[in-house]
Structure 1
Amino acid sequence: MKKSSMAVFLSLCLLAGGFFTEKTYADSNFSGDWIKQGDAWYFYLAPNTPLEEEWLSYNGESYYIGQGGRMVTGKYIDPEDKAEYFFDEDGRLLEDEFTKDGKLYIGKNGKELRYFNDYRTFLRRELESLKQKDFGKKVEKASGDADSTATTLEGAVIHPEAYALIDINDDGYKDIVLLKDKVREETKLSPNVLAVILYKEETRITKESREEAKNKTENEKLPIKERSTMPLLEAEADGPYTFVVRRNKLTGEIAFLRNNRGGEDYSVFQFKKDEGLNQLYSIATKRDGMGVAKYYSFADEVEFQEYQRILLTIQNQFGEPYPVKSYNLDEAGLEEGLKDFSKEELSFYATQEFNN
């Protein structure tokens, strides 16, 4: 089924014969236009002459008229070359858009971005599982039985309420950031981070015979992508430290700032694609029994002036919030967040498809 040449030919023919702007019904006397018979649409080039098994370019949109002259809707697999095309319920070829239910993204020429859709499905499954994860601080306590050494963990159960998708390692794929609080005006600018989880994938190409491949559809012939996640950072929701997302002013890159609730201990983490997770800074203040403060950079004790210098560097270089677009971890939030991709991001995902 070749689209381009026949579509152009039909467009020229229809321009010569004139267009009708709306579909008409079977009891109409129009020819050279759409006719509805039962629940199906047909296109007639002339009375008693339906178009059949051809592409149709009509009013700037592409349609495929299948066997028996019936307009194709939904998913269509060409019986000759097993190519797959996607049309909406009105028969229009979908291009560079999501299907009406939001489950699939269709790229150019009606072709599904299969890997991108599988990636979105994987993220949804991960998020649905992660929203049940408990980030409450737990304290080990004795069972209370004098004859037993058994202990139990006690503490509040706290689940993440929201999430964000951010490309942490600059590989083009968004990673998962779990957030403590629901999306509200007061949490949008600097939400509390509970976990940062890196997305990973590898392509596995399987060998098969020509006979095995012959009966497979275009998408079924694609190599397999194995997907997984790797936790980078975690924080207790009610623990002594909080994580927030910050921008590195020098590079524009994303970083994570950890601060104790007292405000004297700071750490900065940044993920580099070729280096992994780096802790760029770590400063802390500890007081002895007399209340005398000692200052540390990582494990080394430093003078107060050096502590202050590092603190000012952190505040100046990582004081700006990184713009995080977050969504609630409910059905509406999952649907919205898993469709929110820029044109540049969608163009990147299109380049990752093997069936381009």
Structure 2
Amino acid sequence: MRRWERLILIRGSAALITAALVLAVPLCVHGAQEGTWDRSEDGKYWMYFYSPGSPAEDEWIEDQGKEYYVDSKGRMKTGWVTDKRDKNKYYMGVDGAKCFNMFTPDDHYVGPDGLILESFDTYRKAVKKQLERQMKDKAYKEREGALRPGFMLWDINGDGYRDVVVTDQVQSPGRVVLTAVWDPAEEELVPASDADLDGPEKSYLSYNQDSQSVWLTIAKDSGERDCFQMEDNGFRFESLWHFELEYDDWGDPLYYVNGLKCDLEEWTLALAQAGQEAGSPVTEGLLPLDPETVKQAVDCSPGEELPLWQP
């Protein structure tokens, strides 16, 4: 089911726990054995002891609803740990506990099972690369002090993944400069439309609530107009309406709809039908295209998209 996402769940700063397992002799159970945490002889590491002088080694420890890992020397690990059983990598916080549903300091995201959402990482990198490319464009740089382009992350083909939309200005109405659709199979952004930042034509995206379809309309000063519908779960806009306005040798207008000549009344009715099918122009959700806003928009928790990214 296609949805009109207002995007931007802005990720807040993750608070790091600075205390290291301040435990007042807690009880911990691993299998049928119980034990306690204590410092190593040099005071540098936490270790888990089943009995005095008998530390756990190369094991996962569960304590008060959290998971910890001790290496072959019995030392509690922090940072990245590879589980020898399933060969998966897990991130252990500064307190030694396995982390879930958060960004790690080296810019990975770990999901509800503690695993890296690698496809989500790939998606974020691709989106940031695409938007950074737009910001490096000469036309963009020449807009210092003028209206900045805008962008939004919006699922335009109904597959659940947020796609990329760039407009020539953040204020509505903005002319559509770029749309790029995420291809989960190839793990890449596929351009669906592309235009010069300072092009002469007018264009906008619209959304039909009834058909749950996204449309791209491009209009030229000559009277020519095209209406494209995004393919459901596809990667391109399909041309459904094409309007042309020409003049004969006597200066009288000639009207064409999808290549067929018609009179003014038929032209007007067809325009109205195309507008009805395309739905209402999208006027909300645009953000200023600048590095900080891009980072906040892209580097946020996946939210409703989480099931799409889980391995």
TM range (shorter): 0.7 to 0.9
Specify which of 65, 76, 81 is matched with residue 76 of structure 1.
81
The residue that corresponds to 1:321 in the other structure is: 281
Change (3 A) 1:42 1:172: same
Other structure's SS at 1:301 match: strand
Change (3 A) 1:306 1:96: same
Specify which of 174, 181, 192 is matched with residue 162 of structure 2.
174
Would you identify which runs of 4 or more consecutive aligned residues in structure 1 move more than 4 Å? Answer: 29-39, 43-51, 156-160, 226-229, 273-276, 287-291
- Provide the identity percentage: 24
The residue that corresponds to 1:243 in the other structure is: 203
Whether 1:191 and 2:150 are equivalent positions in the alignment is: no
The residue that corresponds to 1:331 in the other structure is: 291
For 2:229, the aligned partner's letter is: Q
Post-superposition offset of 1:35: 4.6
For 1:330, the aligned partner's letter is: D
Post-superposition offset of 1:278: 1.1
For 2:163, the aligned partner's letter is: D
Other structure's SS at 1:295 match: strand
Task: Give, in whole Å, the separation in 1 of the partners of 2:281 and 2:46.
Answer: 54
Matches within 5 A, 1:4-19: none
Post-superposition offset of 1:238: 2.9
Whether 1:55 and 2:60 are equivalent positions in the alignment is: yes
CA contact (8 A) 1:31 1:45 kept: no
Whether 1:271 and 2:271 are equivalent positions in the alignment is: no
Post-superposition offset of 1:172: 4.2
The residue that corresponds to 2:124 in the other structure is: 120
Whether 1:282 and 2:239 are equivalent positions in the alignment is: no
Post-superposition offset of 1:49: 5.5
CA contact (8 A) 1:31 1:44 kept: no
Whether 1:110 and 2:108 are equivalent positions in the alignment is: no
Q: CA RMSD in A?
A: 3.6
CA contact (8 A) 1:135 1:235 kept: no
Task: Give, in whole Å, the separation in 2 of the partners of 1:130 and 1:252.
Answer: 29
Extract unaligned runs of 5+ from structure 2: 1-18, 28-35
Change (3 A) 1:23 1:260: same
Extract unaligned runs of 5+ from structure 1: 1-20, 137-155, 203-225
The residue that corresponds to 1:85 in the other structure is: 90
Alpha-carbon deviations, 1:223-251, whole Å to 9, x = none?
xxx54444322223333312211112431
Structure with larger RCO (C-alpha < 8 A, sep 6+): 2
Other structure's SS at 2:95 match: coil
Matches within 5 A, 1:150-169: 161-169=149-157
Task: Give, in whole Å, the separation in 2 of the partners of 1:282 and 1:276.
Answer: 17
Post-superposition offset of 1:45: 5.7
Change (3 A) 1:276 1:80: closer
| Paired positions, count | 279
Task: Give, in whole Å, the separation in 2 of the partners of 1:179 and 1:275.
Answer: 19
For 1:64, the aligned partner's letter is: Y
Post-superposition offset of 1:304: 0.9
The residue that corresponds to 1:5 in the other structure is: none
Task: Give, in whole Å, the separation in 1 of the partners of 2:92 and 2:286.
Answer: 31
Post-superposition offset of 1:44: 5.0
Change (3 A) 1:275 1:44: closer
The residue that corresponds to 2:259 in the other structure is: 299
User: Would you tell me which structure has more helix in proportion to its own residues?
Assistant: 1
Whether 1:254 and 2:242 are equivalent positions in the alignment is: no
Change (3 A) 1:246 1:276: same
Alpha-carbon deviations, 1:159-209, whole Å to 9, x = none?
98333233333444433222222x4xx44xx4331012234465xxxxxxx
Specify which of 126, 133, 137 is matched with residue 133 of structure 1.
137
State the structure with more CA Rg. 1
Task: Give, in whole Å, the separation in 1 of the partners of 2:245 and 2:209.
Answer: 25
